[in-house]
Amino acid sequence: MNKTKPLTVRVSRYDPATDDAPRYETYTVDANEGARVLHVLHAIHDDLDPSLSYRYCCGSGQCGSCAVRVNGEPALACMKEAEDGMTVEPLNLPVIKDLTVDLAPLLDRLAAPATAADAQLPTKEEIEAIKPLRDCIECLSCVSECPAIKVAEFLGPTHMRQEMRIALDPRCTDDRIEKAIEEGLFTCTTCQRCVQVCPKEIRTPGKAIEKLREIANRKGLTLPRHVEVANLVRDTGRSVVRTEATFLEQVPEVIEPDAPVRGEVGFFVGCMYNGRVPQNALDMIEVMKRNGIRVIVPHDQVCCGSPLIRTGQTWVLEALKKKNIAAFESRGIATVMTMCAGCGSTLKNDYDTPFEVKDVSEILTEYGIEPPAKLDLRATYHDPCHLLRGQGISAQPRELLRMAVKEFVEMPNQCCGAGGGVRSGLPEEAAALGKLRDEEIRKTGAEIVVTICPFCEFHISENTDRPVKNICSVLLEGYREKDRRKGH
């Protein structure tokens, strides 16, 4: 009844006391049908090599002892199904031995709440608010992957989760917000990597970090640069200062395509493409024109509010939301297209819109585009956090890019450091993360870096010597090249 099959796996072995560096060992074991990674580790330990060290206890996803990386991604060994050919490595944390990492020092730093001696039972509403933050099994997968920790003084996502759990609990008497700031509250780029790897799907950036930043804001503890941005939004409806003619100033409300009309979208431009890098948005318009997509650009749209939400300054938010929704709804627009990953993620996740919101890469791949000429370049793609994790979009930009360049090379994904107000608030941290991106870019040997987020474009280009381009600009170049080759 119970079938077994042979599995060959690669396991990282390392004893810091005796080895200079980790090495991989390959093992083949007989695994039962449905075996988890943990059962494969048991088989290796019991039958092949008793010196293999790994941690586990409950075997049912409840204790958080067993997190490892399987094919590079954190997973609970006891829950993740074993696969032939998989590679098992420790989390990116200090290794004690093999797959066992040093959790205790990090766990010790989770905040301990002080409760009043006569603390009363919270109400149902209060309990329900805390519960989602309480599902954490302290596996520290999130901490092991957080980019901010690599370059800044930051305890970690789950430590912020714990701070918010305390802040929400009426029984906890001490005001810990300054502590949370000391622990690195403002260093988080809101890249959502912690959510992606959390086995309990805890939404720490949205449910804890941004909320703690709101508390900090009410106490007047917001970073000065962030306050400036909020004031600018309040006064101008925009989060960047006007330095040149804006996108909205340069285009009419309705932009008819050159080709026969195949579709129509409303365009939510966002502050960066409007005021800082309008050329990229103008390039996008050319691509739309060529592909028969009518673009409607309401001129009364304003900042989406993302810079305010991420930094905990939500007091102007409602007015912005109202204005933006009305701008598109009043024109009867069914699909709103964003080009800025941050705006897209905000409209999709923080707004309740009467229209559908799609990223430009979704629009272009759904309609299908005229193939551009392939540029004679080796290109790599940087996944913007708010596109990859905020909107779950990774295939579409690659599909487009493959059409536009001769060679496409992947690089490991990591936040560039531009998000979450870190670029403005903690520029040194942002630059350090940007440098880490540059290192990966160099490894790929790519001649250009392509992405679809104005913050990433701007920030990465400051930290690398390769040109950083928006996907629409690359497509447009491809069309121009095509025309040139045709001898137009």
Residue ranges in contact with ligand SF4 by CB under 6 A: 64, 136-142, 146-148, 157-158, 161, 188-194, 197-200, 202, 204-205, 415
Residues in Cβ contact with 20 at an 8 Å cutoff, skipping those fewer than 6 apart: none
Integer Cα distance of 472 and 339 in angstroms: 9
Contact with another protein (CB under 8 A): which of 117, 260, 485, 487?
117
Minimum distance from residue 163 beta carbon to ligand FES (Å): 24
107 binds ligand FES (CB under 6 A): no
| CB of 391 closer than 8 Å to CB of 345 | yes
For ligand FES, the closer of residues 75 and 148 by Cβ is 75
The identity of residue 477, as a single letter, is: E
Owner of token pair 């990966």: 440
- Residue 205 binds which of ligand SF4, ligand FES, another protein, none (CB < 5-8 A, kind-dependent): ligand SF4
Q: HSE-up of 478 (CA within 13 Å, CB side)?
A: 26
Minimum distance from residue 184 beta carbon to ligand SF4 (Å): 9
Contact with another protein (CB under 8 A): which of 12, 22, 83, 113?
113
Q: How many residues bind ligand FES (CB under 6 A)?
A: 13
44 binds another protein (CB under 8 A): no
For another protein, the closer of residues 135 and 483 by Cβ is 135
Integer Cα distance of 85 and 307 in angstroms: 43
- Find, among 412, 237, 254, the residue nearest to 333 by Cα: 254
Minimum distance from residue 128 beta carbon to another protein (Å): 8
Owner of token pair 């060290």: 53
Integer Cα distance of 157 and 164 in angstroms: 11
For ligand SF4, the closer of residues 56 and 247 by Cβ is 56
- Residue 169 binds which of another protein, ligand FES, ligand SF4, none (CB < 5-8 A, kind-dependent): another protein
Helix (H) or strand (E) holding 9, with range, is: strand 4-13
Other CB atoms closer than 10 Å to residue 303's CB: what's the count?
26
Other CB atoms closer than 10 Å to residue 228's CB: what's the count?
14
Minimum distance from residue 66 beta carbon to ligand SF4 (Å): 11
Q: How many residues bind another protein (CB under 8 A)?
A: 55
What token pair was written down for 72?
């590079």
Total residues found in the chain within this entry = 488
- Find, among 425, 467, 432, the residue nearest to 446 by Cα: 467
- Residue 2 binds which of ligand SF4, ligand FES, another protein, none (CB < 5-8 A, kind-dependent): another protein
- Residue 395 binds which of ligand SF4, another protein, ligand FES, none (CB < 5-8 A, kind-dependent): none
For ligand SF4, the closer of residues 198 and 468 by Cβ is 198
* Percent helix / strand / coil, the chain, rounded to 5: 45, 15, 40
Minimum distance from residue 191 beta carbon to ligand FES (Å): 25
E runs forming strands in 22-170: 23-32, 67-70, 73-76, 87-89, 95-97, 100-101
Strands 448-451 and 468-470: parallel
83 binds another protein (CB under 8 A): no
Q: Is residue 475 classed as helix, strand or coil in its secondary structure?
A: helix
**Interacting stretch for ligand FES, rule CB under 6 A, among 57-65, 215-223, 241-249, 392-400?**
57-65
**Interacting stretch for ligand FES, rule CB under 6 A, among 61-69, 103-111, 244-252, 430-438?**
61-69
61 binds ligand FES (CB under 6 A): yes
Contact with another protein (CB under 8 A): which of 19, 127, 175, 244?
127
Minimum distance from residue 347 beta carbon to another protein (Å): 27
- Find, among 253, 291, 247, the residue nearest to 269 by Cα: 247
| CB of 431 closer than 8 Å to CB of 364 | no
What token pair was written down for 29?
């074991």
For another protein, the closer of residues 135 and 253 by Cβ is 135
Contact with ligand FES (CB under 6 A): which of 14, 54, 56, 355?
56
Contact with another protein (CB under 8 A): which of 7, 9, 13, 36?
36
Minimum distance from residue 425 beta carbon to another protein (Å): 30
- Residue 198 binds which of ligand SF4, ligand FES, another protein, none (CB < 5-8 A, kind-dependent): ligand SF4
Contact with another protein (CB under 8 A): which of 150, 171, 290, 466?
171
Distances 454 to 58, 196, 276, 346, 347 between C-alpha atoms, Å:
45, 23, 9, 15, 16
In the complex, the residues that contact ligand FES under the rule CB under 6 A are 56-59, 61-66, 76-78
